[in-house]
Structure 1
Amino acid sequence: MTDSVKPRTRAADKRRRLTAAAARVLHEQGVERTTLADIAHAADIPVGNVYYYFKTKDELVRAALSEHSAHLAELTASLDELPDPRERLKALIEAWVGRRDTAARYGCPTGTLAVELDKRADGTLDVEAGVVIRQLLDWAGHQFRAWGRPDPDGLAVTLVSAYQGMSLLANALRDPDIMTREGARLLQWLDSLETPA
């Protein structure tokens, strides 16, 4: 490896670590309570270096949203390997339930961020959070469409709304069992939908 490649590699690694730390810390603490120093500490990078990669906290929020989008794309790509759209949707629900302790402590990473950003009067970050949620809705709608269900986009809204609701309640009540119970109810709901002839 040449000397000129090493600094670029280190810079890319620092940026990646900052982005991952931003996604995690903003989820755990919220935008208003998080400082650039909090993110730098979580990324194990000197706080002064943060400004080299991100000039403002909003840029870090944008990076965190990008990280959430990438995680969602990774998850849905792995689910797309399942042969049946109903099984893909069920596996999505099981993945949500598998993160019940995190949801009970902090809520849905993108949903809570979208709600918090909507309260701010100074930008378009709330719209960018909505893009990540739209990504999930589009994927779920595609699954219902592939399954041959009528009103696939409406069913996608029902599914994602149920997830956001159970995540919010699990968080508000600090009760991960809500995710377990409501996840089981969602699985039953999917099983109750008849496969078209």
Structure 2
Amino acid sequence: MTDSVKPRAARAADKRRRLTAAAAQVLHEQGVERTTLADIARVADVPVGNVYYYFKTKDELVRAALSEHSAHLDEITAALDELPDPLERLKTLVEGWVGQRETAARYGCPTGTLAAELDKRADGTLDAEAGAVIRRLLDWAGHQFRVLNLPDPDGLALTLVSGYQGMSLLANALRDPEVMTREGARLLGWLDSLRAAPSA
């Protein structure tokens, strides 16, 4: 490979990465139907004509955004896995959700809102791909409860993630970030009570 090709390949990879990150951001803020390829190009600082070189359709950009959500989730859970105690991992996750309360109040959960919007479309499987990202979070949380040796770990994971989705939705609907603060505190108390409760 010549030196002139290497920078070109690096520039192309950087453009694709910027477009993927911009797609995740803009689709979260505006939704699929209101977002144009030009919107994403503008946020990525890429000429709109170049977008078609990397992504032929808006659905391809939606798929890229979902991939970005999945990668971001992997980064979060990898960092949480560095904590020695599974309960602390779960509590730190909840604290992170609460830390994003202003964004949640304005736009909702990035993956949850996208999954809900995609579910209303009759022209593809992207809703299932959005659900797969949420499933990854459920599986990770279920594993934490399993390590804690708690009964029904998958049910507990569903309660936790449902709590997050519910508080994100309500914070967004009511435009009230303090919904996240209050419900986050309730989830933290619930997690503490699980450790305190005698195991079945």
Q: Provide TM-score, normalisation by structure 1.
A: 0.98
Q: Which runs of 5+ in 2 are unaligned?
A: none
What is the rounded CA distance, in whole Å, between the counterparts of 1:194 and 1:186 in structure 2?
A: 13
| Aligned position for 2:110 | 109
Q: What displacement does 1:9 show?
A: 0.1
1:181 aligns with 2:178: no
Q: What displacement does 1:44 show?
A: 0.5
Between the aligned residues of both structures, percent identity stands at: 81
What is the rounded CA distance, in whole Å, between the counterparts of 2:14 and 2:121 in structure 1?
A: 31
Q: What displacement does 1:181 show?
A: 0.4
Q: Which runs of 5+ in 1 are unaligned?
A: none
Q: What displacement does 1:2 show?
A: 1.1
What is the rounded CA distance, in whole Å, between the counterparts of 2:54 and 2:69 in structure 1?
A: 19
Q: Which runs of 4+ in 1 moved over 6 A?
A: none
> Size of the alignment, in residue pairs?
197
Q: What displacement does 1:50 show?
A: 0.1
| Aligned position for 1:131 | 132
What is the rounded CA distance, in whole Å, between the counterparts of 1:72 and 1:181 in structure 2?
A: 23
What is the rounded CA distance, in whole Å, between the counterparts of 1:62 and 1:193 in structure 2?
A: 37
Q: What displacement does 1:119 show?
A: 0.2
1:79 aligns with 2:94: no
The code of the aligned residue for 2:46 comes to I
The code of the aligned residue for 1:74 comes to E
* 1:30-73 CA distance string (max 9 Å, x none): 00000000000010000000000000000000000000000000
Query: Could you say what the CA RMSD is over the residues aligned between the two structures, in angstroms?
Result: 1.0
What is the rounded CA distance, in whole Å, between the counterparts of 1:143 and 1:130 in structure 2?
A: 20
The code of the aligned residue for 1:67 comes to E
| Aligned position for 1:45 | 46
What is the rounded CA distance, in whole Å, between the counterparts of 2:154 and 2:30 in structure 1?
A: 32
- How do residues 8-47 of structure 1 correspond to structure 2 at under 5 angstroms? 8-47=9-48
Q: What displacement does 1:194 show?
A: 3.1
